[in-house]
Chain A
């Protein structure tokens, strides 16, 4: 803080150089409406310009990885919900895929289609919130209200499918918890038709809005080299011009059979990141329609995975073999062979990776969660200095991170 000095108005100009050079320490967060979640920024300000920014994390570190070493693979699924708690279904799917890779298990086509639909709906949900809260941070309250109303429709769909509005815990190792209800696909189709007009309205409010553009164009520009060096993934990386989308480049869940485009940005600034997310919602709607068009019949779980997926309840209560199988899977966990695997899925926030080292049995020996927000935030101490204090809200909103998967 500046110490009090005697300044006479007359020679204030001459003393200007003396007055400068005193920086102010400002602490943003961890309890702050702008930082989406509990992120703390220790900043050094020179007037209005940020000179140094040090993010402090860990305020939501709950010990997920340590807990995973004591939980069976299925028992850990609720914890994966709460990583990226804005799109929980995509985390469930990513985790199930990682464990199934370790078990070398391929799920049937219907299950893959269900999971793909869940992932894309979760992507729409996450980007709607991303755009809505981003608009709210920049001052556009209405956008938040519109997108949240759409998200409520999504919540109704999730609730019908899984039983919970969010924190769904829907997938299991070897399949999903239950089959889709009757008529659900029709309702998803209706929703996908309804979200596009809302997106158009948001577009009209934000995309060519003079104030929004002034606040976001040219702010928070990340270069291609920086983005790769800091391990950015997802829309943040693609906004810088790097064409990396794991759905196209390392396809899983049958993404290679769907026809969709991946938006790539040019400047890597906040405005581009907003455009990325808005366009990805549209592409997701396209994927959902294609998926519903050719939704396969079949089973929603891998029926030959005897030691991994619990059998149907009706059989469990009547047949001895299924009873034992159910007992073993519930008490000791799905028996996954020993090995090491690292699987990344294209989550809405970036690439969510699971590194699992198993020594056999139902409980992993080591589970590491590579949270995309952890890597996306690492660029902050390089990105923020040089910007104004008011740009912080816009930069944080554009990076669209969530502390659940950052701190785990």
Chain B
């Protein structure tokens, strides 16, 4: 068997698979993304439905919805982010450990949605960097699963090993390096 990341020939190597470190690390990370559901409004209900029996996010290893940011990998911002809530979302994002990703679920989280008003943050990407945007109001659970698959593809393409050893600098630069992969 041979492809770009794994080389395995039982006749030659025996029971040993030769691969890139990146491939293994990314494979492990993408198949056990633990979401942190920042369920704010209606999209949270579709998020819960995706976790239910019909759509079953558990197939992807993501049913472990960790509300504690320390234990989560991916923050799914589901719902309208108001300016009052913005500081909370940012703080919780800061508390998440690297590597972390953000999925902006729904129109309100992506761009403010149909709430163009004085109180609504026009898109959660104004305060945290977003990896995947999902459109819809609310997006169907299938759309959420599609986005999580895209996130998995994105994780698969990261340079994880390089990011494990960031260049020595103050914390702001480190954050930039680890996020741009």
Interface of A with B (CB < 8 Å)?
Answer: 30-33, 37-38, 58-63, 66-67, 78-79, 81-82, 85-86, 129, 145, 148-149, 151-152, 155, 165-167, 403-404
Contact = CB atoms under 8 A, between A and B. Distances in A.
Given A31-B38, A33-B67, A167-B138, A60 B82 contact: yes
Contact of B52 (A149, A403, A404): A149
A63 B45 contact: no
Given A148-B48, A166-B138, A403-B41, A59 B117 contact: no
B49 A152 contact: yes
Interface residues of B, number: 32
Contacts of B88: 30-31, 59
A134 to B, nearest CB: 14
Interface in B116-142: 116-120, 137-138, 140
B85 A38 contact: yes
Residue from A60, A79, A148 whose CB has the most chain B CB atoms within 10 Å: A60
Contact of B119 (A33, A61, A129): A61
A38 B40 contact: yes
A198 B2 CA distance: 51
A58 B52 CA distance: 29
Given A31-B88, A78-B114, A152-B52, A37 B44 contact: yes
Nearest to B112: A62
B99 to A, nearest CB: 21
B168 interface: no
A151 B89 CA distance: 29
B59 interface: no
Nearest to B66: A33
B117 A66 contact: yes
B117 A62 contact: yes
A403 B80 CA distance: 11
23 contacts: A31-B89, A37-B44, A59-B88, A60-B79, A60-B80, A61-B82, A61-B119, A62-B120, A63-B115, A63-B118, A66-B117, A78-B114, A79-B114, A129-B45, A145-B52, A148-B49, A149-B52, A149-B53, A149-B54, A152-B54, A155-B49, A166-B45, A404-B41
Given A31-B88, A145-B52, A148-B49, 13 more contacts: A33-B67, A37-B40, A59-B82, A60-B79, A61-B82, A62-B117, A67-B116, A85-B42, A85-B45, A129-B45, A148-B52, A152-B52, A165-B140
Given A82-B41, A86-B45, A167-B137, A62 B85 contact: no
Contacts of A59: 40, 82, 84-85, 88
Interface string B36-65: 001111101110110011100000000000
A60 B40 contact: yes
Classify the interface of chain A: helix, strand, loop or mixed: loop
A33 B40 CA distance: 11
A62 B82 contact: yes
Contact of B117 (A38, A67, A167): A67
A392 to B, nearest CB: 15
Contacts of B54: 149, 152
Contacts of A148: 48-49, 52-53
Contacts of B114: 78-79
Contacts of A404: 41-42
B42 A63 contact: no
A31 B54 CA distance: 26
A59 B82 CA distance: 6
A99 to B, nearest CB: 19
A129 B137 CA distance: 20
A37 B85 CA distance: 12
Contacts of A155: 49
Contacts of A129: 45
A167 B113 CA distance: 14
A152 B55 CA distance: 10
Given A86-B45, A167-B42, A403-B41, A145 B85 contact: no
A63 B41 contact: no
B42 A166 contact: yes
Contact of A32 (B44, B48, B52, B67): B67
Contacts of B116: 67
A63 B120 contact: yes
B56 to A, nearest CB: 11
